[in-house]
Amino acid sequence: MQIWIRRGAFILFLAGLFAAVHFLAPPQHVPWRPVSLERPIGWATGAQLDRLSRMPDYCRAALTEAGVKYAELEAEDTGEACSLHGAINLEQSVTPYNAAVRTTCPLAAALYVWERDVLHPAAERHLGHQVSRIETYGTFSCRRMYNRANAPWSEHATANAIDIAGFTLADGSRVTVKQDWRAESPEGEFLEEIFEGGCDVFRVGLGPDYNAAHADHFHFDMGGGFTCR
């Protein structure tokens, strides 16, 4: 009898804790709360963005609500495991890009949050200028990881990843991962902050410290794993 009483008390405690978290904690700290791209980054932002991969209509509605402009892409199969099913062309986020950004909706949502809450505040803080353009090596690429024949398929094969090489600032100067990573300079501090901040938003973040293949860019994706290094 006492066991059942203790179990009942524990269940009531958990129910009370759940209710307290749900109603009292800021929504960006609660994984199961509805997603809004307009909230600041919180403990649960990454988990909320990850849910968008299972809710395509909700994801597009969240982009529209945030003022992100995009165009639907026609479904396309380009190889054994490569496709653009459900992909979009990102036309206007917070920051212009140097090339077309064909991407999944969850990655576009994560980019918007990262640009607004990580990239631009860090640029103002360390460099005194806004970022006027993001320089990317691209998103969609029908290939396996590292182009190895027996490797797993890359998240790029479904446009669920982006490689970012550098940034052009409002004064015309440039910051690049290849030149400025780990430099003892404002540019180096800027790059370190935006990479680490990306790990609160994207599922995977890989940079020059990971391996030589990422010596000149940051790789961010919304795949199934979780890595930040």
Report helix angle 105-114 to 56-65, nearest 10. Answer: 30
Mutual angle of helices 120-127 and 186-198, in 10-degree steps: 160
d(CA 94, CA 113): 9
pLDDT greater than 50 at residue 153: yes
- Cα–Cα distance measured from residue 135 to residue 164, given in angstroms and rounded to the nearest whole number: 6
Q: Which of 24, 21, 101, 109 is nearest to 59 (CA)?
A: 109
**What fold is seen in the domain 52-228?**
Muramoyl-pentapeptide Carboxypeptidase; domain 2 (3.30.1380)
Domain ranges of the chain: 52-228
Inform me whether the pLDDT recorded for 159 exceeds 50: yes
Q: What's residue 21's pLDDT?
A: 42
pTM confidence score: 0.88
- Tell me how far CA of residue 113 lies from CA of 72, 119, 221, in angstroms: 20, 9, 14
Longest dimension (CA), the chain: 74
Q: What is the pLDDT of residue 28?
A: 72
pLDDT at 1: 58
Cα 206 off chain centre by: 12
Average pLDDT over residues 131-149: 93
**Sheet containing 88-92, strands listed edge to edge, beginning at the edge strand earlier in sequence:** 69-72, 88-92, 102-103
Pairing label, strands 204-206, 227-228: parallel
Pairing state between β 227-228 and 174-176: unpaired
How confident is the prediction for the chain on average, in pLDDT? 88
User: What's the pLDDT at 14?
Assistant: 43
88-97 confidence digits (pLDDT tens) = 999 999 999 9
For 172-192, write each residue's pLDDT tens digit.
999 999 999 999 999 999 999
